[in-house]
Amino acid sequence: MFTHFLQSNIAVLAAILTAGTFIGKFKLGDVAVSPSGGVLLVALLFGHWGSELPAELSTIGFAFFMYSIGFGAGPRFFQSFKKNGLRYVAVAFFIVIFACIIAILFTQLLHLPSILLAGILGGALTSTATLAAAYEIAQDPSISVAYGITYPFGLLGLLLFIQLLTRGMKIDLKREAEKFTVEDDNEEEEEEKETYQKRVYQVQNIGLVGVPLRELQLRKHSGVGIVSIRRDNKTWLATAESELQLYDHVMAEGPLSNLLELEEYIGPEIFDKDILEQRNITAKVVVTSKKSINKTIAELRLPQDFNVLLTRFRRGAVELPISPDIALERGDVLTITGDKERLAHAVVMLGHRDNKHYETDIFIFCFGLFMGIFLGNLEIPFINTSIGNAGGLLFSGILVGYFRHYGYYSGRMPLAARYILQELGLLFFLATVGVRAGHGLAAQLSQSGWQIFLTGAAVTVFTLIAAVFFCHYIMKFDWNTSFGATTGGVTSTVALKMITEKAESQYALLGYAGVYGFSNILLTLIGQVLVYVPKF
C-alpha cells in the first residue's frame, strides 16, 4: 500500500517537503539546517531510490521564487546607486567576483567539470538563487549535487571562521558597537510575529529621575519605548529629551513579553484610564514622498514639528535600529505614534498609510509574472539570445517592487505573503531538481565528492576573509558594519544573527540590509554566466 501511495506525484512531493522541512528544524548548536537544505537532502535520497516528479513543478516553483527575490530587492535596488549606496554595491560586486575567481581557480586545479561551478558557488555562499538560475539554463542534475555537497560547510564553516577571525584579530564587536549611540529593537522579527501592546507604569526607580530618555536607551535595553508621560493631570508625548520624575505615569509600547519585564525596571504597572484613552494613535507609513526620501531621521524632525514619535523602522524584511543618522529610502515602513490630527500631517510628509497590511494585489502579481516570462524570452538584438526566465522574472520583480506604491494599483504584497511564495516556490524547485539529481548521486560522490567539498570550503573561507578586510580597510566601514555587509553579501541571515548576538547590538543590520538585496541579484545573474565558463 505504501509503495502504491508513493507512486503518486503529489504524495512524493508531500513526503519530501514534510521530511525535508522536519530535518530543517534540527539544530547543530544554534544553527538550524534550514528547510531548503533539508528538502534538497531528502529529494536527493528519493531520487536515488527511483522516485520521479514532473518537471513542470520546478518551473512553477522557479517562477515564484525568482519573482519574489526581485520584488523584495526592488524598493532599494535603484537607491543603491545613490550616495553611500554605491559603497554597498562595490562590496556586493567584490564578494561575487572574488568568490567566482576562487571557485574557477580551484575547479581547474582539482580538474572538476566547469558545469559544477554554479552549484559549488551557490552552496559555498548559501545562495539557492545561484543554483536555480544555473539549473534553469543548463538542466544538468550535477549542479544540484555540487550544491548539496558544498552547502553544509557554507552554512556552518562561515560561522566557525567568523568566530576564529574575531578571536584571532582580537575584534571586540560589543565594544565597537558601543561607539554608536543607537536605539534599536531587540528582535529581528516579522511584521505579524508579536503584536505590540501598551501598558502604564508608575515611576518608582529613583535612578531614572532627571535623565533624558535618549540616555536611558530603554528600547535598546528592554525592547520597548515610552510613548506618553502623565504628570499633575497633564499628558504629553514623550520625546528623546523628556525627563522622568518620581511617580510619573508613563505609557510604554512594545511586545508583550518585553513589557512584562519592564515593571522591575520602572515601577509597578497601574491602571490609568486617562493616559490610555488619550487621542494618540499608531500608524504604519510607507515612505514615498520626495520630501522625506534621502533625509535622515534627525532631519525629519518628527517630535519637534509634528509631536510624533517613531517607534519602529523596517526596510524590506529587516528591522533596522532607530538611529538619527539613518537616511530614509523609498519603500521603508515606519511605525509612528502621536495625536490623530498631527499624525495625519506627518503621514502626508512621509508618504502614505499602509492600511491594507494583509492584502496582496493579485492582478499586479500575475501581471509581473507574465511580464517576467515575456521579457525573459525576448531575443536581444545583435547577439540573438535572451536573458532567460531567471533574468526576466528578476527584472520584472525589481520593477514591480520599486514602483509598487505608484498609482491606483499598489502592487501590495505583505511580507508574509511574499515569504510563503518565495519559500514554497524554492522548495518545489529543490524537490524536483533534487529528485532528478539523486539518480546520479552515488556516481558523483564516488567520482569527485571530496574535490567538490574542498572547492566549496575554499570559496567560503577565502571569500569571508577577503570581504571583511575589503569592507574595513578599503571601504572604511567599522567592524560591525563590515561583518554585517559580508553576511549580506553571502546571503547568510544565520551568520548575521551570530554577529548581532556577539555585539549585543543590531548595528550590523545596516551593513547587511545595504548589501543583501543587490548581492542576491548578482548571485542570481552570475549563476547564468557560470554555466558558459569553458574548461581551461
Which pLDDT score, from 0 to 100, does residue 393 have?
A: 83
Other beta carbons less than 10 A from residue 422's beta carbon? 18
What pLDDT is attached to residue 473? 92
> For the chain, how far is it from start to end, CA to CA, in angstroms?
52
In this prediction, residues 78-88 reach a mean pLDDT of 66
What confidence score (pLDDT) does residue 191 get?
39
pLDDT digits (tens, 9 = 90+) for 386-405: 666 777 887 888 888 777 65
**3-class secondary structure, 157:** helix
Q: What percent of the chain has pLDDT over 90?
A: 9
User: Running DSSP on this structure, what letter comes out for residue 474?
Assistant: I
Report pLDDT for 193: 41
Strand, helix or coil for residue 361 = coil
What pLDDT is recorded for position 292? 87
CA distances from 100 to 79, 124, 495, 505, 526 (A): 26, 11, 21, 32, 9
The length of the chain in residues reads 536
Quick one: pLDDT at residue 387? Answer: 66
Which pTM does this prediction carry? Answer: 0.60
Q: Which residue has the cell 503621514?
A: 347
- What's the CA gap between 203 and 267, in Å, rounded? 5
Rounded to the nearest integer, the mean pLDDT of the chain is 79
Tens of pLDDT along 159-205? 788 888 888 888 888 787 766 544 333 333 333 344 567 788 888 88
Range picked from 11-25, 216-230, 239-253 for highest mean pLDDT: 11-25
pLDDT of 266 above 80: yes
Q: Which helix (DSSP H) or strand (DSSP E) does residue 109 occupy?
A: helix 85-109
Cα–Cα distance between 163 and 461 in angstroms, integer?
Answer: 12
Task: Work out the pLDDT band at 75, boundaries 50, 70, 90.
Answer: low
- Residue 37 amino acid letter: G
Alpha-carbon distance 12 to 438, whole Å? Answer: 14
**Residue 240: C-alpha distances to residues 49, 202, 237, 521 (Å):** 63, 19, 10, 39
User: How does residue 291 score in pLDDT terms, banded at 50, 70 and 90?
Assistant: confident
Mean pLDDT of 6-24: 84
CB 536 within 8 A of CB 109: no
Residue 243 DSSP label: B
Place of cell 492582478: 363
HSE-CB at 168 with a 13 A cutoff on CA atoms is 7
